[in-house]
Each structure stands twice: as structure tokens, then as C-alpha cells.
């Protein structure tokens, strides 16, 4: 088995193994892909400010999510079509999260098998069952009750998939990801656009389990979420795969953190590919960063072992950066460690992994 020494090597191996259509599905986004690029541009526009002459012999980058201590302030984001990247991908993701001691999200759009009960039986780590919400309460209730009975730590609701985004790379190539034709009984499409805050109130009134709202993208919606008793605010633009020309999630984060005011936990995703990206989000108010494409790269490169290696390398990058910044635990990070700068490379996956860009130009 190849020993990966850098995240770049994992990305290169994933690209080598995946057919071009699946790679495009992984890398691409909606329409002009401006939202995808903005996610990276936002992260690339932030510099880290080091402090010196501080004792950094012991560095702790553990975190707490859902009252569980995790090895890193990182969770595995909910992703569909993971079996397109590696056979048995859904179970490999859960087992990797358990092995490394981080939280993972299990997407209801993942093809079966396995089902949510099998994931729960196979692993004992904290897990969130993520639903793409439609408006039919009976179907939502059935899924939520099953997840609670199976011992899931939380329930996540994806709010920005009520209308499928126009992912033109897939449209041009006629690529149909497996999650678009999964064997899970579909929730009624006719009710998708009827979702309102009344559904969130109903959920909180009905269930005693932490609720994660994914796709909060404004301070105004963050305030409403807190008012409705939401436990975790998940800042996301669906990796740029739904609404084109949306703001970068890292640019949204400070507004949301200020609006939440510590009344709920905050998560974020969107273009996070490096340990230094994680540090930027923590400094701006996130408690946890969810990685989707990065996890997919590890899965495509080497299955469960590839995901674990991604997390090990992230941990190494985070600890290295923290030490060089004069920081020994995540609670010390705030905006004083950041500065606004001009990016040095065009935004995209290659701005985090320049060796990918070098191959593209050969």
C-alpha cells in the first residue's frame, strides 16, 4: 500500500483512479461554478499571523461536538454518491470516523445498502443522520424515529436542496450520480418547496435530540434558527453545487457567529482542503469544520484507510500551523491571528493542491 505523505498525494491518487465524469462530479458545482471558486477564494484571501517566543511544546487540537470530545475540530460532511468513488463507501466513511474519533454525517441520499440501522450497528462513534428535507411530516417522522431508535447522536436537515441545482458538468457529460437513482424510497418531490420554519418548530416540539440545520447562509436565518431552538447552525452553500453566485461560506461565518452569540454550536463547510483552512474557520467562530470533497478524495484514493490518512495529515498540518502561530489550543484562536490578503493563485482545488494544477497544464 502506498504511503501518503501529503494531502496533495492523496488528491493526485484520487484523480488517477476516478474516471473523468466522476472526477468532474466531485470537483464541479452549479452553472458557472462561481460559488465553488468563491469558497476557495475566501479561504485563500485570509493570511495567518504568527506570534513568536511562546512555549508550544504541547499542542492540543481536540474539540467538542454534541458533547463528545473529538480528536480534531473536524466532522465528515454528509455526501451522496460515495459508492461512485469507492465500493462500500458509506460504511468505510463511518468506520474511518470511528477509527479516528470524529463525528460523521450519514446522508439519507446515500445509496443502499447499508441503511441507517446497519451503520449504527457497525460503528459506535457519534453520528448524525442527515435528511434532505421535504414537506411530508409522515415520511420525515418515520426516518427520524428510526434514527433515534438506532442511537444516532443528532438529526441534520439539509435546507438548500428543495430544488436541484444545475450542475452543468454532469449535464454536459450526461453523468448520473448514484444518489440520483438510489434505492431509498424517495420523499415526495411535490412537497419539497413547502418547507417553512413551522416544520422546524414542529420538529423541536416533537423530538428530544440535537437538531442540525445545514445551509444557513445569512445572519438573519441564524437568528431565526436560534429562536427556534436549533442546536447546531451549519453554515454551508452545498459546496457551491446548488445556488450559483452565492457568498463564500468563510465570508458568511463571522456574521453568523455574531448573530448566534454562543447560543448554538456552529459548523461550516465549503472548500476546506487544508489544516490551515480549519484554523481560519475556528478563529472566525466555528466550532467544527465539516469536510466533504476532502473526505471524498481520501475515499477514492484508498477507501477507509485513505480517509483516516486524510485526517492524520490534517492533524499534522493543524498542529504545525498552531505551533508556528504560537498557539497551543484552539480556544486561543480569534480574529487577531488573521489578516486579509490578496490570493496568489486562481481559486479552485489547485489553489490548495498546486500539483493538481501542474498536471492539468502538462
With CA atoms as reference, report the closest residue to 218 among 232, 235, 201, 231. 235
Inter-residue contact 361 to 307 (CB < 8 Å) = no
Spell out the domain ranges in the chain.
Answer: 7-360
Interatomic CA distance for residues 311 and 299, integer angstroms? 12
pLDDT at 81: 86
Give residue-wise pLDDT tens across range 186-230.
444 444 567 889 989 999 999 999 999 999 999 999 999 999 999
Residues in Cβ contact with 187 at an 8 Å cutoff, skipping those fewer than 6 apart: 132, 134, 136, 139, 140
With CA atoms as reference, report the closest residue to 35 among 249, 269, 294. 249
| More confident: 179 or 244 | 244
* pTM for the model: 0.94
Give residue-wise pLDDT tens across range 258-307.
999 999 999 999 999 999 999 999 999 999 999 999 999 999 999 999 99
Superfamily of domain 7-360: Aldolase class I (3.20.20.70)
Beta bridge partners of 236: none
N-terminal to C-terminal alpha carbon distance within the chain: 27
Enter the C-alpha cell of residue 138. 409522515
pLDDT at 354: 96
Determine the length of the chain. 362
Q: Which of 7-11, 199-203, 282-286, 343-347 shows the lowest per-residue confidence on average (mean pLDDT)?
A: 199-203
pLDDT band at 102 (very low <50, low <70, confident <90, very high): very high
Give residue-wise pLDDT tens across range 301-327.
999 999 999 999 999 999 999 999 999
SS (H, E, C) 27-57: HCCCCCCHHHHHHHHHHHCEEECCCCCCCCC
Enter the C-alpha cell of residue 338. 488573521
pLDDT at 16: 96
Give residue-wise pLDDT tens across range 20-70.
999 999 999 999 999 999 999 999 999 999 999 999 999 999 999 988 999
Question: Is 344 exposed, middle or buried, given 0-12, 13-18 or 19+ CB atoms closer than 10 A?
Answer: exposed
When pLDDT is averaged across residues 108-113 and rounded to a whole number, the result is 67
**Angle at 6 (CA atoms; ends 167, 102), nearest 5 degrees:** 70
Interatomic CA distance for residues 302 and 189, integer angstroms? 35
When pLDDT is averaged across residues 83-105 and rounded to a whole number, the result is 94
Interatomic CA distance for residues 341 and 114, integer angstroms? 45
Angle subtended by helix axes 249-260 and 275-283, to nearest 10: 30
% the chain with pLDDT above 90: 81
With CA atoms as reference, report the closest residue to 285 among 250, 251, 254, 249. 254
Enter the C-alpha cell of residue 317. 498540518
DSSP 64-78: EETTEEESSSEEEPP
pLDDT at 108: 84
Q: Which residues are catalytic?
A: 238
Angle subtended by helix axes 293-325 and 275-283, to nearest 10: 70
pLDDT at 180: 66
pLDDT band at 161 (very low <50, low <70, confident <90, very high): confident
**Angle at 315 (CA atoms; ends 310, 320), nearest 5 degrees:** 130
E strands along 311-356, which residues? 338-340
Kind and range of the H or E run holding 63: strand 63-65
pLDDT at 87: 85
Whole-angstrom CA distances from 160 to 23, 58, 235, 293, 360 are 23, 41, 11, 18, 32
% the chain with pLDDT above 70: 93
Residue 182 has pLDDT above 50, yes or no: no
Chain centroid to CA 104:
9
Amino acid at each position: 500500500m502506498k504511503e501518503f505523505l501529503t494531502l496533495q498525494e492523496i488528491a493526485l491518487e484520487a484523480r488517477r483512479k476516478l474516471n473523468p465524469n466522476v472526477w468532474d462530479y466531485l470537483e464541479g458545482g452549479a452553472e458557472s461554478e462561481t460559488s465553488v471558486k468563491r469558497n476557495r477564494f475566501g479561504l485563500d484571501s485570509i493570511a495567518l499571523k504568527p506570534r513568536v517566543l511562546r512555549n508550544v511544546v504541547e499542542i492540543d487540537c481536540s474539540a467538542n461536538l454534541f458533547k463528545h470530545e473529538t480528536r480534531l475540530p473536524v466532522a465528515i460532511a454528509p455526501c451522496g454518491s460515495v459508492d461512485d468513488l469507492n465500493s462500500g463507501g458509506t460504511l468505510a466513511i463511518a468506520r474511518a470516523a470511528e477509527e479516528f474519533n470524529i463525528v460523521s454525517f450519514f446522508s439519507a441520499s446515500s445509496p443502499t445498502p447499508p441503511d441507517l440501522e446497519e451503520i449504527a450497528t457497525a460503528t459506535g462513534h457519534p453520528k448524525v443522520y442527515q435528511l434532505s428535507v421535504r414537506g411530508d411530516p409522515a415520511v420525515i417522522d418515520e426516518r427520524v424515529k428510526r434514527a433515534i431508535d438506532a442511537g444516532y447522536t443528532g438529526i441534520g436537515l439539509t435546507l438548500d436542496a428543495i430544488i436541484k441545482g444545475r450542475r452543468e458538468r454532469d449535464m454536459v457529460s450526461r453523468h448520473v450520480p448514484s444518489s440520483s437513482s438510489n434505492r431509498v424510497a424517495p420523499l415526495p418531490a411535490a412537497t419539497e418547496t413547502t418547507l417553512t420554519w413551522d416544520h422546524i418548530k414542529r420538529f423541536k416540539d416533537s423530538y428530544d435530540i440535537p437538531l442540525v440545520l445545514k445551509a444557513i447562509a445569512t445572519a438573519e436565518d441564524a437568528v431565526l434558527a436560534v429562536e427556534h431552538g436549533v442546536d447546531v447552525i451549519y453554515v454551508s452553500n452545498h459546496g457551491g453545487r446548488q445556488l450559483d453566485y452565492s457568498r463564500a461560506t468563510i465570508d458568511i461565518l463571522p456574521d453568523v457567529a455574531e448573530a448566534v452569540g454562543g447560543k448554538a454550536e456552529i459548523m461550516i463547510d465549503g472548500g476546506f482542503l487544508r489544516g490551515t483552512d480549519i484554523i481560519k474557520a475556528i478563529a472566525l467562530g466555528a466550532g467544527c469544520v465539516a469536510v466533504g470533497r476532502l473526505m471524498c478524495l481520501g475515499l477514492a484514493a484508498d477507501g477507509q484507510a485513505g480517509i483516516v490518512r486524510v485526517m492524520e495529515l490534517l492533524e499534522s498540518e493543524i498542529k504545525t500551523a498552531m505551533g508556528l502561530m504560537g498557539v497551543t489550543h484552539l480556544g486561543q484562536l480569534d480574529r487577531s491571528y488573521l489578516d486579509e490578503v490578496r490570493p496568489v493563485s486562481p481559486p479552485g482545488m489547485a489553489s490548495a493542491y498546486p500539483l493538481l494544477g501542474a498536471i492539468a497544464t502538462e
